[in-house]
Chains A and B, each alone.
Chain A
Amino acid sequence: MDREKRNHLIRVFVAIALVYGLVAVLEFTLRPTSIIFTVLRKGAIYSLVAVSMNLLNGFTGLFSLGQAGFMLLGAYTYAILTMPTAVKESERVYRYYDALIHFDTGVLAGLIAAGLIAAVFAFFIGLPVLRLKSDYLAIATLGFAEIIRAVCQWDVLGPLTNGANLLREFKDLSRITLPFSDIPFPPTLFVFIVVGICILLIVLLINSSYGRAFKAIRDDETAAEAMGINLFRHKELSFVISSFFAGISGALLAMFQYTVQAQQFRTVLTYEILLIVVIGGIGSISGSCIASFLYIALSEWWLRGLDMGTFLGINAPDLFRSGFRRLVFSVIIMIIVLFFSRGIMGDKELSYERVRSFFKGRIHRKENAR
């Protein structure tokens, strides 16, 4: 049994190493403007948010719709902290306000602070909100996310947040370097490393005693409580941890798109991530990751032609005009929600055995058909 487990671990390790190796190879061979990098980076970032949301919705059974708000906090914290002091004091970004903060931090400190700020807010928001049940909880968290957004845009906080205006020129993906040098850090690899570490931590959490307690709460609150699991403390823990990683992914998103603005973090963003979680399978980490990459690849790359006149070699500018991609996309989503409600992975994880048996099943059926 232990050997089996070890083999499994080795396989996982090899697979992950292969993925990272591939990313590194791509990074050094393809031209840096290739759309593949957009897909890889954004896909990885969305994986992290989706996994963090899955931790709440899938593993703890808390239907929370506040993810966009915590991403916003992370993105703003990171942008404000890592923006060079010289930029803050110039008029380039803080045009209508005098910047309040006169120091700047490194990338790593910025990322961790982004997570921490989101977590601190989550802690205080969780105190009242986590006593609510199912859809009331969903609506209350959604409301808090909207309030966070409104407060971020408030004039009075302008010296900190630059009001409702864009933040930019912080340490984004084009401005990160290898430690103690000026050599630029390969951006896609950077995103993959950060996201990888975060997801690894979440996986370790889910497989720890605390993770079992979360799942117990999801399965049956009353029974979990009767087994001595403090509902409120564990819900709060899950909420805070999930928000911590949502904060980090918000920071990564800011780094990815070079600019950040509160306006972007609307409820629609949360819905988008929720749909990714559902497509991947509620309660499956690997499902969330696969779904994120698929979702981003479809929307940023493969279906782009639907918006730009030509798709699959068919040129029909009247049909394939702006907005058609999103229409097709939402139809696909509805099909998945209605007919494949368990998503790609259900609540299972991707493993060598599953992939093998999947293809075996295929072949087997083909033979039968003959």
Chain B
Amino acid sequence: MADFFHQNLSYFLSGISVGGQYALIAIGYTMVYGILRLINFAHGDVFMCAGLMMVYLSSSLPFAISIPLVLILTVILGFAIERVAYKPLRSAPRMSVMISAIGVSYLLQNAALYFTGGLARVYPEIPVLSASVVIWDAPTRVVTLVTPFLTLVLVILLSLLIKHTKIGMAMRAVSVDFETSQIMGIKINKVISMTFMLGSLLAAVASFLYFTNYASVTPTSGSMPGLKAFVAAVFGGIGSIPGAVIGAFIIGICENIIKGGASIFGIPGSGWTTFSDAFTFAFLIIILIVKPTGLFGEKSVDKV
């Protein structure tokens, strides 16, 4: 058993690392869904934009300035998207808002396409994070090790924020009952903006970790991690933060095990890697059918 882990350590390491990155993105999905019942399709692209900002800012500014600046700009981006694309549609049917989200995603990708000229941009090497280390004979990067811990710390901080601060309580109230909390005098718009800003902040952190690992940013870099993070959120029970985190780790690890299937299980590699993305969706569909509310989701009853 120990031998097995030793041999395949690199798959597990990259699985845990990518899982942590998905988790940070997934929280943004799950919080927004919890409050607005909206799948924010543009979230993955916000993550991509954070990566691009870093590429451009770090070319002229030191990391000490560019990193906080990326965090701030991403938060502003998240805030602006909500204000411009979702707020005007608050009373519109759900489908309209979702279409607006798809539109924003399309817009961000095309804007990125235009500004990058459609070429992959090389992500800067952030000191310390990019350094190489060897764990138990498996060479990897510091970022791989840092990711799960950083993710956990951030999740704990976020939980504390939601449990103990006023705005956190307002968030919980809004997610339980939108209308009532509005009547109770909670400033809905403030809560929603705050949710988007928190989600974007975490996405920006995820972008540092993710792109340090996979050193290039393209206009579509955000869509796959975004979709997978979303699947993780659904798996965990959309609306539940711990659910999203656990879901993300499971998906990250499973995906890497499939890619390494040939060597882990000795299955001859006849194109199984093709399915590493399809697997995520198959997984999603099974969950939706068997337990549509996910691991930690609550069941709701339709009123007639």
Contact = CB atoms under 8 A, between A and B. Distances in A.
Interface in B267-284: 270-271, 274-275, 277-278, 281-282, 284
A142 B102 CA distance: 13
Contacts of B301: none
B128 interface: no
A349 to B, nearest CB: 20
Interface stretch (B109-117, B164-172, B196-204): B109-117
Contact of B117 (A142, A321, A326): A321
A275 B274 contact: no
Contacts of B110: 323, 326-327, 329-330
B261 interface: no
Contact of A140 (B84, B85, B278, B288): B288
A278 B95 CA distance: 10
A330 B106 contact: yes
B96, B100, B230, B274, most chain A CB atoms within 10 A = B274
Interface string B113-144: 11001100000000000000000000000000
B117 A144 contact: no
A275 B98 CA distance: 11
B104 A143 contact: no
Contacts of B94: 134-135
Interface residues of B, number: 44
Contact of B114 (A278, A326, A333, A334): A326
Interface stretch (A27-35, A152-160, A228-236): A152-160
Nearest to A341: B96
Given A146-B277, A275-B103, A338 B284 contact: no
Specify the main secondary structure of chain A where it touches its partner: helix
A327 B99 contact: no
A323 B92 CA distance: 31
Interface string A121-159: 000000011011011101110111011011101111000
A341 B92 contact: yes
Interface string B67-108: 000000000000000001100110010111011101111110
Contacts of A302: none
Given A150-B278, A274-B99, A128 B234 contact: no
Contact of A323 (B102, B118, B223): B118
Contact of A132 (B111, B223, B277, B292): B292
Nearest to B98: A135
Contacts of B106: 271, 275, 330, 333
A330 B211 CA distance: 26
B257 interface: no
A15 interface: no
Contacts of B89: 338, 341
A339 to B, nearest CB: 8
A132 B285 CA distance: 10
B278 A322 contact: no
B184 interface: no
B281 A155 contact: no
Contact of B88 (A135, A278, A338): A338
A153 B288 contact: no
B289 interface: yes
Nearest to B39: A135
B251 to A, nearest CB: 13
B98 A147 contact: no
A63 interface: yes
B137 to A, nearest CB: 32
Interface string B284-299: 1100110010000000
Contacts of B292: 132, 136
B65 interface: no
B107 A140 contact: no
B282 A139 contact: no
Given A136-B288, A153-B274, A338-B88, A274 B118 contact: no
B2 interface: no
Interface in A13-36: none
Interface string A265-304: 0010001001100100010000000000000000000000
Contacts of A334: 85, 100, 103-104, 107
Interface string A331-368: 10110011001000000000000000000000000000
A176 to B, nearest CB: 34
B88 A129 contact: no
A151 B117 CA distance: 32
B32 to A, nearest CB: 12
B115 to A, nearest CB: 8
A330 B284 contact: no
Contacts of B234: 136, 139
B21 to A, nearest CB: 21
A155 B270 contact: yes
A57 B95 contact: yes
B1 interface: no
Contact of A143 (B85, B111, B113, B284): B284
Contact of B96 (A150, A164, A337): A337
A277 B236 CA distance: 32
B304 interface: yes
Interface of B: 37, 39, 84-85, 88-89, 92, 94-96, 98-100, 102-107, 109-111, 113-114, 117-118, 223, 230-231, 234, 270-271, 274-275, 277-278, 281-282, 284-285, 288-289, 292, 304
29 contacts: A63-B95, A138-B98, A139-B284, A139-B288, A140-B284, A143-B282, A143-B284, A143-B285, A144-B281, A144-B285, A147-B281, A147-B285, A153-B274, A154-B275, A222-B304, A267-B223, A275-B103, A275-B106, A321-B114, A322-B114, A322-B118, A323-B110, A326-B110, A329-B110, A330-B107, A331-B107, A338-B85, A338-B89, A341-B92
Task: Enumerate the 5 nearest inter-chain pairs by beta-carbon distance, A residue then B residue, closest first.
Answer: A150-B278, A143-B281, A155-B271, A323-B114, A330-B107
